[in-house]
A and B are shown apart, each in its own frame.
Chain A
Amino acid sequence: MRVLHLIAIALLLGAAVAVAQTPDLARRQAEAAAALADRQEEETVLTEGEGRSEVFGYCTACHNTALIRRSAFTRDRWDELMDWMAEKHGMNPLEGEFRQTIVDYLAKHYGPRARSPRGGNPFLN
């Protein structure tokens, strides 16, 4: 009986150690995620051009530039996304000249990458 108790205690201690290591990894992973999110970017990561400072300043308030750099949208779709971010993601609505500067920059530097041999979609152009 005493042996069983000892085994039980040993198992409990072992379990406690195993559980104790998990919170440490959890904390380190949360810190690593925060560090990635806080990683400072340079404006020059975006293509040079008129409006780059405005785009960098405004957009990186919420997300990093990976979302811009991976994108290849027409001007119309970029424009639509400005409304979507305002409506769905709490962005201060973009209007007037400032909006035009931002959308112009994105459409010019992060537009569709190439045309297919058939010249794009016949229903859009």
Chain B
Amino acid sequence: MTRENAPERSVQELYRDDPERADALVFGRRGALKGAALAAMGTALGAGIPFARHMPQGLVPAALAQGAAQPQFLQMEGKAPLIMQGERPLNAETPEHLLDDAVTPADKFFIRNNGSVPDPVADPRAWKIRIDGEVNTPLELSIAELEQRFEVVTRQLQMECGGNGRSGFSPQAAGNQWGNGAISNAEWTGVRLRDVLRAAGLKEGAKFTGQHGADNHLSAQGPAISRGMRIEKALDEDTLICFRMNGAAIPQMHGAPARLIVPGWPGSLSQKWFTRLEVKSEPHTGRGMGGTSYRIPVRPIVPGSRNNGADFVDMESMPVRSVLTSHAHGTRLPAGTRSLDIRGHAWAGDLSVRDVHVSTDFGQSWQAMQVAAPPNRHSWQRWQGSIALPADGYYEVWYRATDSNGRMQPHVAANWNPQGYGANPISRIAILIG
């Protein structure tokens, strides 16, 4: 898939002008890489490839972009230059190396919208949230009342787009072509949804939820999105109705004045501009439910084939994933650099991360990194370690996490589905020494 002009334009541009370039643009691009092409690539890179003999056949180096359009970056007050995925709806991805903070600050929090961003309200404390449906006592409580009536808790919680990693799929799946950057791990303050549900009193038929928010669909027909989950997840101690993020008011972009946080499950459940939760006896049928939306095949289907998703299942706990945050893809280091301290984060939906391994020789050998325990359940975990670089030249750092059940990130995105959920292949960044 390498284009004719890729070598000429690749590395100088990437390294000099575009170090933040999303791995999305280079990952998953495969092409024949034979002797001559390998030599040409070394020339183009301006460097030898120390582990070239280990480079798998048909794998184009991470540094070689496809030569298509350059990514655009968001310019917005209070936001870092995130990678633009689209203006309408507004979606922007955090470059991996901007995710280095243990607690994701507001400016580096990815943006995911299904509709339009509502106008801020004059009196956030008076914002009301309704709980109804299969409950004994429907409730309508303001944020002030929620805070007064229920225990207020603060947790570091991962919140990840259900489509994170989608660009790993081949053939391309429909939707934002996220790399690994549709992930956040902010410190959220709010009340437990389960405390509020218990106050309302769940009826016997309470099996599912349906979430509602204030954002409108771009067609101006109804709500932007309205998803639901099994009641068990709603009753998890980490599922919160939040009104503060990182100790401050929730930013408008991220759901002010109140939003749900449903950590470890697709971010679309973490309803922004949260107004109402229905308790239901049957699965919710709002926009974003059913068919191929946030659903994955039980039996693998042929990649690229038609499927209406009727026998898919809802995506619940997100798969294990890791990011490398200490160095940007395309980092150039001084000649003679022989070792490098690297770090990042890893997480695994409702599970935790057991191991992170790194390879600098295209997967021929793997080295264990140190993985810290999470500060609380549903937080991502810091990993770090040191790698050796035996000579100057071009390297790829491959990184792979393993969850607490022993499942690893696969070599390529698995279980293709039309809307592209669950892609968590091994990631890699390119670095150049000298």
Contact = CB atoms under 8 A, between A and B. Distances in A.
Given A63-B88, A71-B174, A28 B248 contact: no
A44 interface: no
Interface in A18-37: 19, 22-23, 25-30, 32-34, 36-37
A75 to B, nearest CB: 12
Interface stretch (A1-9, A50-58, A83-91, A95-103): A83-91
B253 A70 contact: no
A49 interface: no
A62 B216 CA distance: 12
B88 A36 contact: yes
B287 A28 contact: no
B106 to A, nearest CB: 9
B139 interface: no
A25 B116 CA distance: 17
Interface stretch (B217-225, B261-269, B329-337, B340-348): B217-225
B304 A116 contact: no
6 contacts: A22-B248, A27-B120, A27-B252, A29-B79, A36-B90, A37-B90
Q: How large is the interface on A (under 10, 10 to 19, 20 to 34, 35 or more residues)?
A: 35 or more
Contact of A22 (B58, B249, B293, B418): B249
A66 B78 contact: no
B219 A37 contact: no
Nearest to B119: A30
B304 A26 contact: no
A26 B120 contact: yes
B77 A32 contact: yes
A62 B219 contact: yes
A18 B305 CA distance: 54
A23 B120 contact: yes
Interface residues of B, number: 52
Nearest to A39: B87
Contacts of A29: 76-79, 117, 251-253
B302 A123 contact: yes
B69 interface: yes
Given A29-B78, A30-B117, A37 B251 contact: no
B297 to A, nearest CB: 15
Interface string B62-93: 00001011000000111100001111111000
B221 A90 contact: yes
B31 A34 contact: no
B93 to A, nearest CB: 12
Q: Which of B79, B90, B292 has the most CB of A within 10 A?
A: B90
A62 B218 contact: yes
Contacts of B293: 88
B256 interface: yes
Contact of A117 (B31, B113, B219): B31
B84 A32 contact: no
Contacts of B32: 117
Given A39-B87, A88-B293, 14 more contacts: A28-B77, A29-B253, A30-B119, A33-B117, A36-B76, A36-B87, A66-B86, A77-B304, A88-B291, A91-B219, A116-B58, A117-B30, A117-B58, A123-B302
Nearest to B288: A88
Contact of B219 (A22, A28, A77, A90): A90
Contacts of B90: 33, 36-37
Nearest to A116: B30
Contacts of A42: none
A124 interface: yes
B306 interface: yes
Interface centre among A25, A61, A70, A72 (most CB of B within 10 A): A70
B251 to A, nearest CB: 7
Residue with the highest number of chain B CB atoms closer than 10 Å, among A25, A36, A89, A121: A36
B434 interface: no
Nearest to B249: A22
B118 interface: yes
A33 B253 contact: yes
A74 B172 CA distance: 10
A62 B171 CA distance: 25
Interface string B287-320: 1000111000000001111100000000000000
A22 B68 CA distance: 39
B39 interface: no
B144 interface: no
Interface string B203-229: 000000000000001110110000000
A114 interface: yes
B217 A32 contact: no
Contacts of B85: 66, 70
B271 interface: no
